[in-house]
Structure formats: C-alpha cells, structure tokens
Amino acid sequence: MMEARAIKRYTNSSPRKMMLVADLIRGKNVERALTMLHFSTKHAARVCESTLRSAIANLQQKEEGMRVTPEDLYVKTVFVDQAPTLRRVLPAPMGRAFRIRKRSHHLTLVIADELSRTSRRGK
C-alpha cells in the first residue's frame, strides 16, 4: 500500500475558504483533482494545488524503485485545521476600537494508490 502526505502550515487565509476547496477534491483521482484546482478561480485552490504536487513528489521520493503516475493515485484524505489567529485593532468612530481577526490554517493532504482503495473495499 503506497501512501504519502504533505502538510502546508500557517497559510494566511480563513480555514472555511480552504474547506470549500478541500471538499471539491476529497476522494477524487489525483489527475482530475489537479485539473480542478488548476482551473478554479479561488485563491485557496493555488495553495491546495501546490500541496497536492508536493504529496505526489513525496510519494515518488518514497517509492524510488517504482514508477508512480498521477493516474494511479487518488486523494485519500484532506483536512483543514485552524492555526493561530492574529488579532488586530481598527480605530472606530467615537473613540471605540473594532477587533480584526486575521485567521490562518494548516492543510494536510494524504494520497494513496488505487490498489489500496480497491483492496480496502473488498474487506
């Protein structure tokens, strides 16, 4: 069973925005997921695409003797965790202050080969 993961930490965007993109590619073939991310208009898709390419490279590095192609892989797991939030203050009328929360997130992507998916279903 071939499996590799890639983690992108402290990305400066809201976790909710990344979850919208992560839900698009969860369980999909890697080649199809790369195409979907490449043509998506969301900024989070660029970050997710680079992380997916990193996971593919990690798998190729891990399995040196074998030839790995994106057609044989699928996105096994994608999850987004909240990272530290930067708190800023914005001056407001009449001497008040509004709190600005600049959120960030961690993205974790796990890819595996199609053989492990089919063998897991058979059990």
> Which CATH number does the domain housing residue 8 bear?
3.90.470.10
Rounded to whole angstroms, the maximal C-alpha distance in the chain is 68
Report the pLDDT averaged over residues 9-28: 96
Taking only the tens place, the pLDDT of each residue in 43-102 is: 999 999 999 999 999 999 888 777 778 888 999 999 999 999 999 999 999 999 999 999
pLDDT over 80 (residue 121) = no
Residue 122 included in any domain = no
Name the β-bridge partners of 21. none
Residue 123 included in any domain = no
* 116 within 8 A of 2, measured Cβ to Cβ: yes
Report the pLDDT averaged over residues 28-57: 96
Kindly state the DSSP code that residue 12 receives in the 8-state scheme.
S
Residue 76 included in any domain = yes
Residue 26 included in any domain = yes
The reported pTM is 0.88
pLDDT over 60 (residue 122) = no
Q: Which domain, by its residues, includes 106?
A: 3-117
Report the pLDDT averaged over residues 13-18: 96
Residue 76's pLDDT is: 95
Report the first-to-last Cα separation within the chain, whole angstroms.
15
Residue 120's pLDDT is: 62
Rg (CA), the chain: 18
Report the pLDDT averaged over residues 24-35: 95
Q: Please count the structural domains in the chain.
A: 1
Burial class (CB in 10 A: 0-12, 13-18, 19+), 73: buried
Q: State how beta strands 86-91 and 97-102 pair.
A: antiparallel
Residue 81's pLDDT is: 97
pLDDT over 60 (residue 123) = no
Residue 94 included in any domain = yes
Euclidean distance between CA atoms 50 and 53, whole angstroms? 5
